Structure 1
Amino acid sequence: PGTNDLIALAAGGADVADDLLELRRTQADLDSPATMVYTSGTTGEPKGAILTHRNFVGQVRNVAAAYREVVRADGNTVIFLPLAHVLARGLQLICLAGGMRIAHVSDPTEVVDSLGVLRPTFLVVVPRVLERIRNAAAEKADGARLGALWRAAVRTAVSWADHLEAGTRPDAVLHARRAVFDALFFRRLRARMGGRLDYILSGGGALDPDLSRLFRGIGVPVIEGYGLTETTAPLTGNLPDDIRSGTVGYPLPGSTVRISEHGEILARGVGIFSGYRDPAHTAEAFVDGFFRTGDLGRLDDDGRVVLEGRLKDVIVTSNGKTVVPQPWETRVEADPLVAHAVMVGEGRSYLSALLVLDRAATEAWADAQGIRLDAVSGEGVTPISEPGLVAHLQRSVDAANARVSHSEGVRRFALVFTDLDDTRLVTPTMKIKRRALLERSGNAVDDLYR
């Protein structure tokens, strides 16, 4: 209530003449700016991207055409990403154009509890939400002394999804195992998500392929896609009847993708923005008429896009080794206690990492182990050196190191707590702003090289 409420806003327009209102309503054409959306700034300064009405209209028409099974008049969804994010903005328009009902939930922590009431037919999430659902299910199973059964259920779901992706028939044993685990776990998980969920769309970050397979095996397929502020949300996407875990799918109708000689994903199409607010930024953003996404990737044998990290995140060590951090980081972030893994080592002789802990999950783990963690307060970065916790996460680091070459493995790591609700540190899609974290973590990083 007060000067910034909607009633005050309406009152402020009381003296606007009808003819002026009509002029403002009708004077924009397809090539007029519709909005300016700032990039998240995970690797640098946020930039104001100017998106036109043509960008949004093109995306609405083309995305709706590609996802008719998902966007339908008898469906509904929940949007919990802030509308400052282009994915939420584009999704809202696509749903409105398709006649779908939309509910908005402002607090991401309330989303799961709201699903039983709102009962969506599809949901757009960032990978972290799916990780939380999986981790909560695992915790509940452990609490009921069913942890071993839950882990067997996960393996069964992943195997089931492997058959679906390969187009092969599961054998009778797998059929029977899945039926048992469906009764024990999967049916309850689907009910927890509202009971009507046909598909989950995931974007805003890399999704662990096994996490995608888990949800598909449970009976809720995850359609992973890829886009940026500058592409007006989706650029590529898996299709409902053609999902390949570990990829972000094909270029969507109206869009073209190619890979540069340096491995950068280049894009052209209806959703590509008209430029940045600063013309100097615009000049650097295009090559041969294609937008430079800043993301590294490749095309698989079928033409699907596979993401391989951010160009600006690439680390060059002092011995000249070039390392893309994302594969290692994604594997470590599969651990429920790790909110974000950030590899460091630019200009250094070996690689290290900061593991930003999920406070609630870590404190619950510590309580279960009878370990007391030091109180943490303030907005800085607090190192955590509890030996039991370090030993526990050493296993996740070792497992990630085993999946990459020796020179791409991390030799030392530090555990830290920080405020993950701080928008100066974390984007609306729950990605860490690497530069901001490293600026706050100077001493912790320096200690890794002493």
Structure 2
Amino acid sequence: MSIATKISILGAGESGIGAAILAQKQGFNVWVSDGGKIKQKYKDTLNDLDLPYEEGSHNMNEILSSQLVVKSPGIPEKAAVMKAIREAGIEVISEIEFGYRYCKGKIIAITGSNGKTTTTLLTYDILKKAGVSVALGGNVGNSFAASVAESDHDYYVLEISSFQLDDINSFKPHIAILCNITPDHLDRYDYKMENYAASKFAITKYQDETDFFIYNKDDAETLKYMPQHTIKSKPLAITLQNENTEGAWLDETNTIHITINNQEQMNINELALQGKHNTYNSMASGLASKLLGIRKEAIRESLAGFESIEHRLEPVLQVYGMQFINDSKATNVNSTWYALDNMHEPTIWIAGGVDKGNDYSQLFGLVEKKVKAIICLGVDNSKLHQEFEGKVDLIIDAADMDEAVRMAYKMGEKGDNILLSPACASFDLFENYEDRGRQFKAAVRNL
């Protein structure tokens, strides 16, 4: 691209700033535009780089004079600025597509409704322990574009959301992992599951026969929509069924077997992360690492010694015999299903937030069996009340996190779990799920 080529970056969060850094390095004429308020740390970066930007509005003259637009994933197509850009016929791409155009290393990209953060961090941990040149990016760590701008790596392990995949036109991971598909973000996909699934399968769209696609053979939605997509890469399944399949499978002794080219590569019988969902995550990361030629010892060491992730079934404190658990990262119903399935003691469940078209019916059996009370934490809790009335003894509302934690503490008894697992997005009362989880932990420590 020549220096005269103008690029507009829409959104000045982590991905937008990363795209701006890379765009400047590649010689673009850069304009950064955010319809909201830009965080001070990102303003500081823009000022240090002497990049022009605006906040609180979009200067359409600047944006529509661009040859390329990089759109941050949080901006929906129905936004007025996007409608104007589309009408003008300007090319729109995501930050991961932009980063890919200048990336020299191999990409391991992980998507899915649940488990993608854990699988991403596990895979990165294995590669890092193996001593290879690897960067972590996407929805966790730095933005992909910023990592590419910073230095060249042999491998990039990326957590990728459906929103980021919506605006790719060449992004080609060497290994694509689809953890699962469960209803999430349906408000962005016209409340049609097939649209959301198509977005997830886009991770395979530009792969070829030299690449690999790891998928969950036990996930009904993945199997349902897989035939609708042309997948050129080599598919490898992960399954908890005791069947010797090419990919990864679990035998009757709970030992994971990894099989490639019909040859047994290794088995793993000690996992640091417990629970059915984490077995899938460990399988996917172990299989991906083996495909990259990582030695068995590094894979085993990482999977056996990996520490739990903040905001995902994270034990916080035990207070008077009650265990407080932070699962703020559970922003959809299926994530909360896994959390409740892991509860083996009576549970007070703190739930609620921005409902994304949730179907709570899959939780009914677990709630009736395990939950003694629900504390609703959100601006509008009417749907939670409607869905769970009569399924638990008590459903009450809390105005903020401090009140929710105090309520749970007062009604709890020795041996109870106090579980924050919202099943909803956080943007009504919190900045993001991290902010929500940290407020929960602070409130528990203040008891």
Q: TM-score range by the shorter chain?
A: 0.3 to 0.5
Q: TM-score, normalised by structure 1?
A: 0.33
Q: Which of the pair has the greater relative contact order for Cα pairs under 8 Å at 6+ separation? A: 1
